[in-house]
Amino acid sequence: MTTVEQEIYEPLNIETAIELSKNLQLFDHDDHLTSEEIGDGNLNLVFRVKNEHSGKSVIIKQALPYAKVVGSSWPLTLDRARIESESLKRTYQLVPKFTPKVYFSNTNLAVTVMDDLSDFTILRKGLIAGNIYPNLAKDIGHFLAHTLFFNSDFGLNQQEKKVQSSRFINPELCKITEDLVFTDPFYDHGTNNIDEDLKPFVSTMLWEDQSLKLEVATLKKAFLTKGETLVHGDLHTGSIFVREEDTVVIDPEFAFYGPMGFDIGAFIANIILNYLSQQVHLRNQFQRQEYQQYLLNIIDESWNAFSEEFTSLWNQYPQDVFMNIDGYLEQTLQEIFKDTIGFAGCKVIRRMIGLAGVEDVECISNQADRNKVKKAALTLGKKLIVERSQIATINELVKVVSEHA
């Protein structure tokens, strides 16, 4: 008989975070460590534990048993910490260059200990500041191709894929997306956050448009039922850390088996929102045109990098005998592209009127300017949803986006 001591969940503090790091032998016992809590406190505690002498540091992330949103708080499963750490470990197998290394995780404590990326910037802030990241598009395309392919029936043994999918059943966090991305913004719902001035526009543009709602219903159903691959589930520009030449994707707590296009669409949507916001941020016309062109190139290049790498993996590591049939790859990419555009449209809309805005747009202090950007985004988001079957190539998508600046 073995006696198993089961750890009881308790939120860490600055001291116990240091203690845990030492117990895990990530530092020597007599190292002098500092610890600070650097999370935003809405969903998780995030500690940086550091040996100031050697400069070595780690991040300890611990899920909180609730989510704080706009003043209120609701209970939220700690299981998301397990999902996050399992997703990080799986992703590290596939694309270590773009993933923080996990040193320790514990389901009972809802804790993940991982690489500190303190010399990285959150991509969203970098883009708002107008910075250029020369490898970003290529890196994200590579990340998407490898994670989406090797977790799918195309690149993973089809029986292992089923077993793996059972570890990523994520009802509570999927529900957040189902409600806040695919439902509430399309109704006059209490969770929305809309300037009074915008309401009539939103009402006509979204809430009264039954044909739009039918398309959103179709996309929501795909989110609910299309278990193609292990998606990150929340791949906006706040989930991407960048340095001049490096890209790391973090925070996969929304991970689940969903449609391939969902992650690509989330990324593109957030580039689009930055693109539209630069209409206000960059007053100098030359600078603006140049930076907006850079953002359009990110959309174009990330898709092309994804589809080229996906094609290469498809040809090199086929798990299904049908994968050498003429036209199957092209049909698959076309379907992913169509889903990508539709999901991007939903993501754009939800960020303009839903519970969670994006700093790119919300930081525009002039209300008229801000609402002008929001109207452009809502118009574009709707177009992406409704016309996703007509937009056949990434060039056409870029053209449609550029017409909405």
Return binding residues for substrate: 234, 350
Query: Does an H or E element contain 230, and which?
Result: strand 229-231
Evaluate whether 237 touches 122 at the Cβ level (below 8 Å): yes
Evaluate whether 123 touches 238 at the Cβ level (below 8 Å): yes
Q: Residues marked as binding? A: 44, 61, 234, 251-253, 350
Q: What is the DSSP string of 295-311?
A: HHHHHHHHHHHHHHHHH
CB of 330 to a copy of itself, least distance (A): 10
Closest to a copy of itself by CB, 226 or 372: 226
CB of 186 to a copy of itself, least distance (A): 8
Closest to a copy of itself by CB, 31 or 172: 172
CB of 320 to a copy of itself, least distance (A): 7
Beta bridge partner(s), residue 256: 231
3-state class of 72 per DSSP? Answer: strand
Among 98, 381, 368, 48, CA closest to 232: 98
Q: Residues marked as binding for ATP? A: 44, 61, 251-253
Residue 363: CB atoms within 10 A of its CB come to 13
CB of 252 to a copy of itself, least distance (A): 17
CB of 351 to a copy of itself, least distance (A): 20
Closest to a copy of itself by CB, 61 or 90: 90
CA distance 345 to 347: 5
Alpha helices for 29-131 (secondary structure H):
79-94, 123-128
Closest to a copy of itself by CB, 277 or 332: 332
Among 84, 124, 331, CA closest to 242: 124
Closest to a copy of itself by CB, 258 or 381: 258
Closest to a copy of itself by CB, 65 or 171: 171
Closest to a copy of itself by CB, 156 or 276: 156
Kindly provide the b/e burial profile for residues 175-194, where b requires at least 16 CB atoms within 10 angstroms of the residue's own CB.
ebbebbbbbbbbeeeebbeb
Evaluate whether 249 touches 239 at the Cβ level (below 8 Å): yes
Closest to a copy of itself by CB, 220 or 351: 220
Evaluate whether 208 touches 385 at the Cβ level (below 8 Å): no
Residue 235, classified by CB atoms within 10 Å of its CB into exposed (0-12), middle (13-18) or buried (19+), is buried
CB of 223 to a copy of itself, least distance (A): 10
CA distance 250 to 33: 24
CB of 151 to a copy of itself, least distance (A): 12
CA distance 313 to 145: 8
Q: What is the DSSP string of 374-386?
A: HHHHHHHHHHHHH
- Interacting residues with a copy of itself (CB under 8 A): 153, 158-160, 162-163, 165-166, 169-172, 174-175, 178, 183, 187, 210, 213-214, 216-218, 220-221, 224-228, 257, 320-323, 325-328, 331
CB of 251 to a copy of itself, least distance (A): 21
